[in-house]
Amino acid sequence: MDENNTPGSTEPPSAALIAVTLPNKVTVLKTFPLPGIGFCLATASDKSLIYTGLSDFSILRANLSAEKIEPAAVGVNGHTSYVMGLVRCGETLVSGGYDCSLIWWNAESGEIIRRSSDAHARWIRMLAVSPDQTRIASVADDMQTKLWDAVTGACLATWGDYEAQTPQGFPSMLYAVAYSVDGKWLATGDRTGRVLVRDASNGQVAATIQTPVMYTWDPTARRHSIGGIRSLAFSNDSSQLAVGGMGKVGNIDHLEGASRIEVFDWQTGTRRLEIEDSKHKGLVESLQFGPQDAYLVAAGGDNGGFVSVWNMADGKLLTQDVAPMHVHDFELSLDGRYLIAVGHQQGAVINLFSVSG
Amino acid sequence: MSHVRSFGTCIPAHHAVSRRGFLSEGAVRAAGAVTVAGCFASDMGQIHALRSEEVASELRNQDKRVILLWLAGGASQFETWDPKPGAKTGGPFRAIQTNATGVHISELLPELSQRMHHTAIIRSLNTKIADHGGGADLVETGRLKDPGILYPDLGAVVARELGRLESKVPDYVSLYTSTEGRRKGTSGFLGARYAPMFLSESMIPLNIARLDAVAEIDHHARAGLREALGRRFAASRRSQTVDSQNSAYQRVQGLMASAELFDITQEPAEVQARYGPTQFGHQCLIARRLIEAGVPFVKVARAWWDSHGQNFETHQELCADLDHSMSVLLDDLEQRGLLKNTLVITLGEFGRTPQINSSLGRDHFASAWSCSLSGLGIRGGVAYGKTDPEGHTVVEGEASAADLFATILAALGIDHKHEYTVGARPVPLADFGSKPILDVLT
């Protein structure tokens, strides 16, 4: 195993190397069991220490540098339902979940610093932290986006602009939120495929993008829906926005739609790339651009999982493979050479380059 | 002593209509023949002959009704009636206190939680069959399939037991407009007379309208002439079969006139709005209109709950629909004084697995699941039976499909041990050995 590919390697590669080297092989380096479904991931700056929020209501910490990865609980008496969002702001972790609460934790001691029990009126789906780590954004099925002071926990703003119900009269859901890398923009995406990009300082909607293919309404056979925007990622220069979900589904009993990504020059509303992958089906649960926006990493799954890497120059597939589990969240290493993923009952470290690469 | 009701050619002498006599009297074959093993009721005249006064009891005069909300595909008991918050299998949703002390249900049913005084939950169904077709066959008829006999489903039995001969409305209406898992329902050995009026393509019955080529005045004139001739004929040849012919015509006219029952635009706008925008809501309103007009059994199928993937999102949608539509239905029935005579059932072919799969779905599960009974004959505010802390098994009050069938009949005041005779074979209304769950009955 290439030492440079392991977690804990902090030295950033040279720009020249990134510019010419694209991922060429997905390889699982190691896996570690989780006592439930890992829905969300936060990492320490060097990526060696990870935190994940789970379906058993806990937050676990794991040291990926250890020979044997043994996740341990962070604190007690936290959430009372699935933990769906987790971010790290310095030495503080902030988590949110289906219990509608946000909890501020001391990342080291596990002590609860603050709890906002009614942060949202309905289930919290995801959190995002601003690049300067001063703000936290949360989205929930009350269809509101809320902005929080990362230190004091004060709610700074509440933004609506989403319909509470789908066009067919069923409850909608607000799944995804992402900050731009420059911290100026905040993107959110709902069940019906509607993306709003806001000015993060005042909530003004700067762009509205529709991705209707991400939402499947079955009007005849099953009479309900599936899909929605499950992942959002800005490019490193903040000009592009990648939107992840699933294409149209025939039998909505299953996640059998093609995994789907749409990439926009969001300020013009131009869709640059439309990627559907029928080989690895299901939801694109997490997205991240690689260094210099040369490639886009996508992960998710149906009953299984996948990791795919797409060339942002032409939208072509660079490499992909099955993941050891349905991936719900991942983070790329600083050099973009490997990713840390959490998902159904386990976590994994996955290399994106062959040794020769 | 149990009443014995016979079907087919092998019926008791005092009820028998000879084939020669029957044919010579030219009975109306109102709804087609059902011939299984050559021994089942095949026509209106014969059925009428079997409906002796001894069993056409005052039961029918009590105007009892049933609305079956069929949760097709199998709803999750965890996300409805038997939540397990905090368990590994429990999913993300909380349990909420209902207005019945000590009874908690999923937070996805907030409106129903405030109407639990009408409702008994049965949390201990173990029906064992976890495929859609087999499970539905079992739950709908209350017994396992038998290659030698076609059993009637609940709707047909209720139509048979509670329907009025003179009724001009259908005895059994089934609405199933989604295409997945669509099942028409069966009257089995009871014959086509008790088969459902089945609406699948439209919420208003097709092919019962008067033909455009026949003017309204002609339509009525023809009916009047037929009636006059029928009366003269019957005056000298009085028999059940002749009566049957006349009532068959009346029935057809009634069915033609019943089309407006399916037209919810005849309801005040405020009532339509209360039932909400979904098709299931509209169909619940149709069910209320039908019940109010005297239809004894209405089945409204809400498909499709088969949440192998994204179980929680699916239940967020479908439970919202069920919660609101059923709550408005219960309120509406109560306000109109109909709930005391109407049993509202939620039931599907099975429940869903405790295990949550990689697609965040739950799969088929028939070993420990739930249903609900509200209104007529039901002790409200009761949660009967118990599953283990993770919902894998029934640990208290196990109930079979036959027990549930017997319970429903008992709530309606029908003796589940009454027997039909099919050929020489006694067939109790609920399967042999079944027992009503007395704890949920008033």
Q: How does DSSP assign A279-347, residue by residue?
A: EEESEEEEEEE-GGG-EEEEEEESSSEEEEEEETTT--EEEEEEESS-EEEEEE-TTSSEEEEEEEEEE
* CATH code, domain carrying A83: 2.130.10.10
At B20 the pLDDT is 33
Task: Tell me, yes or no, whether A356 lies in a domain.
Answer: no
For B134-175, write each residue's pLDDT tens digit: 999 999 999 999 999 999 999 999 999 999 877 888 999 999
Question: Is the model's pLDDT at A248 over the cut of 90?
Answer: yes
> What are the residues whose beta carbons fall under 8 Å from the beta carbon of A58, sequence distance 6 or more?
A35, A36, A73, A74, A78, A79, A83
Q: Which member of B94, B277, B358 has the closest CB to residue A303? A: B358
Task: Return the ∠ at Cα B377 (arms to B372 and B381), rounded to 5°.
Answer: 50
Q: How large is the ipTM?
A: 0.94
Q: Which of B280, B305, B360 to mutate to test the interface with A (most CBs of A within 10 A)?
A: B360
Q: Which two tokens stand for residue A302?
A: 């149906």
Q: Which A residues in the span 98-117 are in contact with B, Cβ-Cβ below 8 Å? A: 98-99
Handedness of CA B401, B407, B412, B416 (dihedral sign): positive
At B246 the pLDDT is 67
Match 């009874």 to its residue by tokens. Answer: B103
| Of residues A30, A25, A26, the one with CA closest to residue A8 | A30
Contact: A55, B356; criterion CB under 8 Å:
yes
Average pLDDT for chain B: 86
Instruction: Among A307-311, B215-219, B422-426, name the one with the lowest average pLDDT.
Output: B215-219
Establish, for the pair of chains A and B, how many residue pairs have beta carbons separated by less than 8 Å.
97
Q: Are B105 and B112 in contact (CB under 8 A)?
A: yes
At B18 the pLDDT is 34
Q: Which member of B276, B317, B358 has the closest CB to residue A171? A: B317
Contact: B278, A98; criterion CB under 8 Å:
no
Q: Are A48 and A8 in contact (CB under 8 A)?
A: yes
Question: Is the model's pLDDT at A72 over the cut of 50?
Answer: yes
If you write DSSP's letter for every residue of B149-196 in order, what string do you get? B----HHHHHHHHH--TT-SS-SEEEE--SSTT------GGG-GGGS-
Classify A67 as helix, strand or coil.
coil
A-chain CB neighbours of B179 within 8 Å are 220-221
**How many folded domains does chain B comprise?**
1
At B14 the pLDDT is 36
Provide the domain limits for residue A13. Answer: 3-351
* Separation in Å, CA of A202 to nearest CA in chain B: 31
pLDDT over 90 for what percent of chain A? 90
pLDDT over 70 for what percent of chain A? 94
Task: Tell me, yes or no, whether A87 lies in a domain.
Answer: yes
Provide the domain limits for residue B129. Answer: 4-440
Q: How many CB atoms lie within 10 A of CB A72?
A: 10
**How many folded domains does chain A comprise?**
1
For A114-137, write each residue's pLDDT tens digit: 999 999 999 999 999 999 999 999
The residue-averaged pLDDT of B236-248 equals 66
Classify A272 as helix, strand or coil.
strand
Question: Is the model's pLDDT at A4 over the cut of 50?
Answer: no
Give the range with max mean pLDDT: A58-72, A341-355, B218-232, B361-375: B361-375
* CATH code, domain carrying B184: 3.40.720.10
Question: Is the model's pLDDT at B438 over the cut of 70?
Answer: yes
| Of residues A235, A242, A279, A233, the one with CA closest to residue A258 | A279
For B358-384, write each residue's pLDDT tens digit: 999 999 999 999 999 999 999 999 999
A-chain CB neighbours of B314 within 8 Å are 224, 226
Handedness of CA B38, B41, B45, B51 (dihedral sign): positive
List helix spans (H) across B205-359: 216-236, 240-257, 269-275, 279-293, 311-335
Classify B265 as helix, strand or coil.
helix
Rounded distance, CA A162 to CA A178, Å?
Answer: 16
A-chain CB neighbours of B93 within 8 Å are 81, 98
The residue-averaged pLDDT of B294-312 equals 97
Q: Is A71 on the interface with B (CB under 8 A)?
A: no
Q: Are A260 and A284 in contact (CB under 8 A)?
A: yes
Question: Is the model's pLDDT at A351 over the cut of 70?
Answer: yes
Question: CB-based burial of residue B20 (10 Å sphere; 0-12 exposed, 13-18 middle, 19+ buried)?
Answer: exposed
Question: Is the model's pLDDT at B22 over the cut of 80?
Answer: no
Residue of B nearest to A251 (CA): B180
Question: Is the model's pLDDT at A46 over the cut of 90?
Answer: no
Average pLDDT for chain A: 93
Handedness of CA B378, B379, B385, B389 (dihedral sign): positive
Rounded distance, CA A308 to CA A165, Å?
Answer: 33
* Separation in Å, CA of A58 to nearest CA in chain B: 11
A-chain CB neighbours of B88 within 8 Å are 36, 56
Instruction: Among A87-96, A248-257, B54-63, B114-123, name the one with the lowest average pLDDT.
Output: B54-63
In degrees and rounded to multiples of 5, residue B274 shows phi and psi of -60, -40
Q: Which of A222, A252, A254, A329 to mutate to test the interface with B (most CBs of B within 10 A)?
A: A222
Classify B358 as helix, strand or coil.
coil
